[in-house]
């Protein structure tokens, strides 16, 4: 079996729904389980409708209602599907009337309210599958074994889900039925609806894949997987064939279009491969996220960067052979609520970076009493994500490249995650550095001249 997850934009309207059903049909022999998000921006619209009821006493689901009913019409779904959808919309309207009367919305009510998005989308998609001759069943996650704690709006799945999910899913597959399961939602042991946090459908999918020991969890997005660099900066950026779970997590922190690190947890536990695929370009093989890569693979997976970084250099001879100096420095940052990103130290100095949006003046004033403090704004962090076991090779090539284009490196740090090497350069030079590094690490030899 496999799990195929499609996000909101992939099920945004009738045409997109038909398209993903074509994709599912092409893999029916693999026994797929389908996991879906709410259609388009429905989750946001539900939250807006909730606010309108809470703040202005307005009950308006016109937009949500119209879009879902329109989709049913365009897909020419039978009356039975229409009745199911209308009943859910009616329940939603009653809930919002309640909110408008008592003018109160607890996190529990909020989760109940946003759950309608996924409950609507799976019913429409399953009805469409059946109309097109694929035997499918719309399933609410709580009927498929998703039990969470009661931490509404960002609930955690409970351990019992690991056993319950395969118990519910596998019999359906054996009967030749395609389960179409709501992403994002669950119920707590008391029976209240919960949500797993925004973007939580990825986690629903990886959880089913891991718990059922699927061959693969496919997460369908609107990009060709993880790219070697931002294509707006590096025109020759290309999809990465495979990355490790750790590398993918690192890339997610740097804003790559991948899974949230939390969503990878279940698959890390069982070693289940995750594949990021593009629903707009089904021919592309996408990026596989797996436990380990073979030794011969290239040392670097991707190159990213972040601008608007401030570099703080703290120099003091008092530090030599002393203890407590670093503690003093960091407690000063803590007192002023300034969060530190990268750190590098020597015997007599500490260099660190902070986000440029933070106010450093208080820290500077206080630290100046015990050390020389130099603040450089307008810097950038360039990060190379790859196999840090080969850090000597990566660093040698990276420094050589910087030297060739005449860019001084201001600070270096190797992430404890063992998958990232970051260094600081002048913000104005960052794009050049990323392009030159990409050329060196990813282009065939004849293109490098």
Where along the sequence are the contacts to ligand ASP (CB under 6 A)? 7-8, 37-38, 43, 117, 183-184, 198-201
Q: Contact 118/42 with Cβ under 8 angstroms?
A: no
Return the number of other C-beta atoms located less than 10 Å from residue 39's C-beta. 27
Distance from C-alpha of 250 to C-alpha of 171, rounded to nearest angstrom = 37
Q: Which is nearer to ligand ASP, 205 or 354 (CB)?
A: 205
Which residue, among 210, 212, 218, 201, has the nearest Cα to 272 in the 3D structure?
Answer: 210
Query: In which region does residue 184 sit, left (phi positive, over 0), alpha (psi from -120 to 50) or beta (all else)?
Result: left
Partner from ligand ASP, Mg ion, none contacting 19, C-beta within 5 to 8 A by type: none
Minimal CB distance to Mg ion: which residue? 8
Q: Is 368 exposed, middle or buried (0-12, 13-18, 19+ CB in 10 A)?
A: exposed
Q: Which is nearer to ligand ASP, 201 or 244 (CB)?
A: 201
Q: Candidates 32-40, 179-187, 232-240, 305-313 — which segment interacts with Mg ion by CB under 5 A?
A: 32-40
Give the nearest distance from C-beta 57 to ligand ASP in angstroms. Answer: 26
Q: Which is nearer to Mg ion, 181 or 290 (CB)?
A: 181
Partner from ligand ASP, Mg ion, none contacting 95, C-beta within 5 to 8 A by type: none
Please give the angle made by the CA atoms of 141, 291 and 398, to the nearest 5 degrees: 125
Q: Contact 204/181 with Cβ under 8 angstroms?
A: yes
Give the nearest distance from C-beta 414 to ligand ASP in angstroms. Answer: 33
2: helix, strand or coil: strand
Partner from Mg ion, ligand ASP, none contacting 166, C-beta within 5 to 8 A by type: none
Give the nearest distance from C-beta 245 to ligand ASP in angstroms. Answer: 19
Give the nearest distance from C-beta 16 to ligand ASP in angstroms. Answer: 14
Which residue, among 441, 437, 444, has the nearest Cα to 423 in the 3D structure?
Answer: 437
Binding mask 36-75 vs Mg ion (x if CB under 5 A, - otherwise)? -x--------------------------------------
Q: Which is nearer to ligand ASP, 140 or 230 (CB)?
A: 140
Give the nearest distance from C-beta 12 to ligand ASP in angstroms. Answer: 11
Partner from Mg ion, ligand ASP, none contacting 201, C-beta within 5 to 8 A by type: ligand ASP
- 8, 145, 179, 266: residue in contact with Mg ion (rule CB under 5 A): 8
Give the nearest distance from C-beta 133 to Mg ion in angstroms. Answer: 28
Q: Count Cβ neighbours within 10 Å for each residue of 304-328 and write b for 16 or more, e otherwise.
A: bbbeebbbbbbebeebeeeeebeeb
Partner from ligand ASP, Mg ion, none contacting 200, C-beta within 5 to 8 A by type: ligand ASP
Partner from ligand ASP, Mg ion, none contacting 225, C-beta within 5 to 8 A by type: none
Task: Report CA-CA distances (Å) from 393 to 16, 220, 384, 403, 413.
Answer: 45, 34, 12, 15, 15
Q: Which is nearer to Mg ion, 9 or 414 (CB)?
A: 9
> Contacts with Mg ion: how many residues (CB under 5 A)?
2
CA 78 to mean position of chain CA atoms: 36
Q: Which is nearer to ligand ASP, 10 or 244 (CB)?
A: 10
Return the number of other C-beta atoms located less than 10 Å from residue 342's C-beta. 19
- Computed on alpha carbons and rounded to an integer, the radius of gyration of the chain in Å comes to 25
Q: Which is nearer to ligand ASP, 41 or 366 (CB)?
A: 41
Task: Report CA-CA distances (Å) from 22 to 9, 13, 175, 296.
Answer: 16, 14, 21, 36
Most distant CA pair in the chain: distance in Å? Answer: 80
Give the nearest distance from C-beta 124 to ligand ASP in angstroms. Answer: 14
Q: Candidates 2-10, 219-227, 257-265, 305-313 — which segment interacts with Mg ion by CB under 5 A?
A: 2-10
Q: Contact 329/364 with Cβ under 8 angstroms?
A: no
Q: Which is nearer to ligand ASP, 124 or 344 (CB)?
A: 124
Q: Which is nearer to Mg ion, 8 or 266 (CB)?
A: 8
The site for Mg ion (CB under 5 A) is made up of 8, 37
């Amino acid at each position: 079996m496999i799990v195929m997850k499609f996000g909101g934009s992939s099920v945004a309207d009738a045409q997109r729904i038909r398209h993903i059903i074509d994709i599912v049909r092409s893999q029916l022999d693999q026994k797929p389980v389908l996991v879906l998000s709410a259609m388009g921006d429905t989750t946001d619209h539900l939250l807006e409708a909730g606010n309108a009821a809470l703040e202005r006493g307005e009950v308006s689901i016109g937009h949500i209602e119209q879009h879902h009913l329109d989709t049913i019409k365009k897909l020419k779904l039978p009356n039975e599907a229409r009745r199911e959808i209308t009943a859910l919309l009616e329940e939603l309207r009653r809930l919002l009337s309640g909110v408008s009367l008592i003018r109160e919305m607890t996190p529990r009510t909020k989760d109940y309210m946003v759950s309608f998005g996924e409950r609507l989308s799976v019913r429409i998609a399953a009805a469409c599958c059946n109309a097109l001759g694929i035997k499918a069943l719309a399933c609410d996650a709580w009927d498929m074994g998703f039990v969470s704690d009661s931490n509404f709006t960002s609930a955690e799945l409970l351990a019992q889900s690991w056993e319950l999910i395969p118990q519910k899913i596998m019999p359906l597959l054996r009967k030749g039925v395609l389960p179409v399961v709501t992403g994002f939602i669950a119920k707590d042991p008391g029976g209240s609806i919960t949500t797993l946090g925004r973007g939580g459908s990825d986690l629903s999918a990886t959880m089913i894949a891991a718990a059922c020991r699927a061959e693969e969890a496919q997460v369908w997005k609107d990009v060709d997987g993880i790219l070697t660099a931002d294509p707006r900066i590096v025109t020759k950026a290309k999809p990465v064939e495979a990355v490790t779970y750790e590398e993918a997590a690192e890339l997610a922190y740097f804003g790559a279009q991948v899974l949230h690190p939390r969503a990878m947890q279940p698959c890390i536990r069982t070693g289940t491969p995750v594949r990021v695929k593009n629903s707009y370009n089904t021919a592309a093989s996408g990026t596989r996220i797996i436990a380990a890569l073979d030794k011969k693979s290239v040392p670097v997976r991707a190159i990213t960067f972040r601008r608007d970084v401030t570099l703080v250099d703290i120099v003091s001879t008092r530090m030599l052979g002393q203890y407590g100096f670093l503690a003093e420095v960091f407690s000063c940052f803590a007192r002023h609520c300034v969060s530190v990103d990268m750190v590098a130290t020597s015997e007599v100095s500490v260099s660190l970076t902070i986000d440029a949006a933070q106010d450093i003046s208080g820290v500077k004033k206080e630290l100046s009493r015990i050390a020389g403090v130099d603040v450089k704004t307008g810097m950038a962090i360039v990060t190379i994500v790859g196999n840090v076991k080969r850090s000597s090779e990566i660093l040698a090539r990276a420094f050589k490249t910087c030297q060739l284009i005449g860019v001084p490196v201001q600070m270096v740090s190797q992430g404890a995650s063992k998958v990232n090497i970051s260094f600081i350069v002048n913000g104005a030079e960052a794009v050049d550095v990323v392009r030159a590094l990409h050329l060196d690490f990813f282009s065939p030899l004849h293109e490098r001249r």
